[in-house]
Amino acid sequence: MPAVLYDFDGLLIDSETAGLLSWQRVYAEFGHELDLAHWLSETEAGRGPCMPTERLAELVGKPVDWEAVERRRIVWRDELLVARPGAEDHLAEARRLGFDLAIVSNAPDWWIRQRLDSAGIAPELFEVIICKTEGIARKPAPDAYLAALRELECAAGDALAFEDSPVGIRAARAARIRCVAVPNMVTAHFDLSAADVTLPSLAARPLAEVAGALLTAGCPGVRERSPDGR
């Protein structure tokens, strides 16, 4: 069965934008400006989440209660942690069309499930969730995508990946999966040209149209599912 494989952070949930804005607010609280170039370089390299506390400590130059700072930052971040525009409709369309769905992420399982719950997205929508775990190399290695294909029993030519960053795009393409880039406010700064298609949002084009153009099997067409979505 054809499948749609979704990255998580920055693609379904706008965590990269939330992280950046919350850290910019922390820096502003201390009268400084976040080094955006450093932040972007860390994100582009896939070393996130970026935690530029040491850089701020050097600027402040005096003792700071960093635990209290982090508590405030998390509150600010969580206020911004929402599903990206079009994400819920995109998932619903994929289910209506009969695709199997997977999340393929470098994030830990607890984070993915916590954030899905807070965004009102049921984990049961996904046949497979591949996350940060021992034995699976992080993106840009293709391991996580290859694991998803194995669990779904799906050929690479029948799968479509949605990613927001160069690291994720490289991972999908290394697994020989067609990839659609959907950049967020942060990753829009990066070169995403390795993707087969780049869209400004998940709502920009119908999934049926994109899949029909990119997948070997085209679009599978609507098939009935049981009440639990499977």
Catalytically active residues, by annotation: 7, 9
Total Cβ atoms within 10 A of residue 156? 17
Contact 23, 73 (CB under 8 A): yes
Helices (H) and strands (E) in the chain, counts: 9, 6
Distance CA 164, CA 112 (A): 16
Question: Is the Cβ–Cβ distance between 10 and 184 less than 8 Å?
Answer: yes
CA distance 155 to 138: 21
Strand-pairing partners, residue 181, are 163, 198
CB 82 within 8 A of CB 108: no
Q: What share of the chain is helix, strand, coil (3-state, %, to 5)?
A: 45, 10, 45
DSSP state, residue 84: P
